[in-house]
Structure 1
Amino acid sequence: MDMEKNAASRSRRAKALEADAGVEPKKVSRNPKRTHAAILAAATDEFMAHGFGGARIDAIAAKAKTNKRMLYHYFGDKEALYLAVLEASYTSIRNAEKTLDLTHRDPEEGIRELALFTWHYFLKHPEFLSLLVTENMHQARYLKRSDTIAAMHSHFIAELSEVLRLGQVKGLFREGIDPLSVYLTIAALGFFYLSNRHTLSTIFERDLSAAAAIKAWGEHIVSVTLASIKL
C-alpha cells in the first residue's frame, strides 16, 4: 500500500514540475485524421477572427482540443498552418464548383449557375472572404508558397473557357472573351457587396442584408455578367 501511495505521489509531483516548466502533457491521438481536421477547422476560425498576426497557436490548440505539440506535429509551424488553411479554403470552393458540371449545360445557363453559385458560396462562407482580405493585406506572401493553388485554378479557367467557346459556337457570346474577366466580374460584384454591406446600408439607409436585397443582388450579378459577354 505504501509503495502505491509513493508511486502516486511521485506521479503527481512529476506532473506539477511539468506544469511549472510549461511542459504540456502528452496526448496520443486515437484518430489522426479527425485531429488533423479539428486543428484545421479551429485554425480557420482563429485566422478569420484575428488575421495572421493576431491568431494564437494556444487558442487554436485549445479549440481543437489538442496541444501545441500535436499541432506542430501535423502542420510544422504557424505559417505552414495558415497556408494549409488557405489551400483548404480554395480547394473547398473549387471542388464545389465541379459539381456544377458547367460544360454539359446550355452556355447561358452555365454562366448563370456559376454566378449564383459563387454568390451563394460567398454568403455561406464568410471565413473564405475574411481569409482573402487577410492574405491580400500580406500581398499573397503565403499563397505564393503553395504548390497546389495554380493547378486547381488552371482547371477551373479551362472549364470556363470551354463554356464561353460553346456559347460562341452557338452564336450567344462574343468572341475573344477573357474567362478570367468573366470570373472577376462575378467575384467582384459579390465580394464588394458583402464586404461593404454594413457601411453601404448605413449610408444609403437601406438594409442590404435583408433576404429580398440578397436575392435581388444575385440576379443582378447574373444580368451584368451575361450582358458583358452576349452578342
Structure 2
Amino acid sequence: MNVPVSSSRSKARDGATRIQDPEGTRQNIIEVAAQEFALNGLSGARIDEIAAKTRSSKRMIYYYFGNKEGLYLSALENAYRQVRDGEAKLDIAGLPPIEALQRLVEFTFDHHHQHEEFIRMVMIENIHHAEFLARSDVIADLNVTAIGNIEAIYAKGLAEGVFRPGLEPLEIHWQISALCFFNVANRATFSKIFGKDVGSPAFQESLRRQTVEMVLRFVVLAEKLTGP
C-alpha cells in the first residue's frame, strides 16, 4: 500500500522533533503518564494509552524508562519536584517569619488544589506502602528541602519571639500537608455525603483562609497574632 507523501513527511517531521528534543519528549511522556497513573493507578495504567497521547512510541517509552514501573517512579519524582520547585520560587527567606509561614501554607493549598494528579499519585504510593518512593534518592533529597524551609522559618520565628517553642518542624509540615491534602483527596466524598460542592470557588477560598488561620494559630504565640 502506498503511503501518502504528506503523511510520510509528517511522520518524518515528528521523528526529527523527537530526536532534536529528547528531553522535551521525555517530559511530555512523564506528564501524560502522571495523568494516567493518577486516574488508573499503577496496575490500571497502560503504556499503549500513554504512547498514543504523547509525541512518542511504546518502544521509545521503554527506551527512556525501562518498563512501566520505571515510568511510574519517574512520574512520581517529577510530581514531588514540581511542588519543591514551587516552594523554592516563593523567595520567602527575607520575609518576617509569620508572613513567610503564611505564604508557604497558601502556596501548598494552591498547589495541591491545582495539581490533583499529585495528590492521587501520593495516595497510590501509600497503597503500595511507599515501595517505589523508597527506591528514589531523588525524592528523599527533595523532601529534605521541604523540612529545611520550615526549620529556617521556625528558627527565625523563635529568635524573634513570635513562635511558640517546643514544636517540631516535621510536625508543622505534617499539619500543613494534612489540611491541604485532605482538601483534594476527600473533596468528592465530602461533596456527595453532605450535598454541598466543597470544590466551588467560594468554598475553596473560605477553606484556604481557614487553613492559613489554623496553622498560624498553632505556631504563632497568641499575643503576636493580628486579626480575628
Structure 2-normalised TM-score?
0.86
From 83, 96, 101, the equivalent of 2:91 is: 101
Is 2:176–2:215's contact at 8 Å kept on the other side of the alignment? yes
Match of 1:157 in 2: 147
CA gap of 1:68–1:206, structure 2 versus 1, over 3 A, is closer
Counterpart CA distance in 1 for 2:188 and 2:145 is 35
Aligned residues: CA RMSD: 1.7
Q: Deviations over 1:106-149 (max 9, x none)?
A: 10001111111000001110110110111110001111000211
Q: Deviations over 1:153-191 (max 9, x none)?
A: 112211210110111111100122211111111111121
Q: Where do 4+ consecutive residues of structure 1 move more than 4 Å?
A: none
Match of 1:54 in 2: 44
Counterpart CA distance in 2 for 1:47 and 1:201 is 24
From 125, 134, 137, the equivalent of 2:115 is: 125
Structure 1, unaligned stretches of length 5 or more?
1-7, 12-26
In the TM superposition, 1:52-201 aligns within 5 A as: 52-201=42-191
Structure 2, unaligned stretches of length 5 or more?
4-14, 222-228
**Given residue 53 of structure 1, which amino acid in structure 2 is its aligned partner?**
S
Is 2:163–2:220's contact at 8 Å kept on the other side of the alignment? yes
Is 2:191–2:197's contact at 8 Å kept on the other side of the alignment? yes
Report the CA distance between 1:65 and its aligned residue.
3.4
Q: Secondary structure at the match of 1:148?
A: helix
Q: Secondary structure at the match of 2:198?
A: coil
Is 1:102–1:159's contact at 8 Å kept on the other side of the alignment? no
Report the CA distance between 1:193 and its aligned residue.
2.3
Report which of the two structures shows the higher radius of gyration computed on alpha carbons: 1
Counterpart CA distance in 2 for 1:107 and 1:161 is 11
**Given residue 75 of structure 1, which amino acid in structure 2 is its aligned partner?**
F
Report the CA distance between 1:101 and its aligned residue.
1.9
**Given residue 151 of structure 1, which amino acid in structure 2 is its aligned partner?**
D
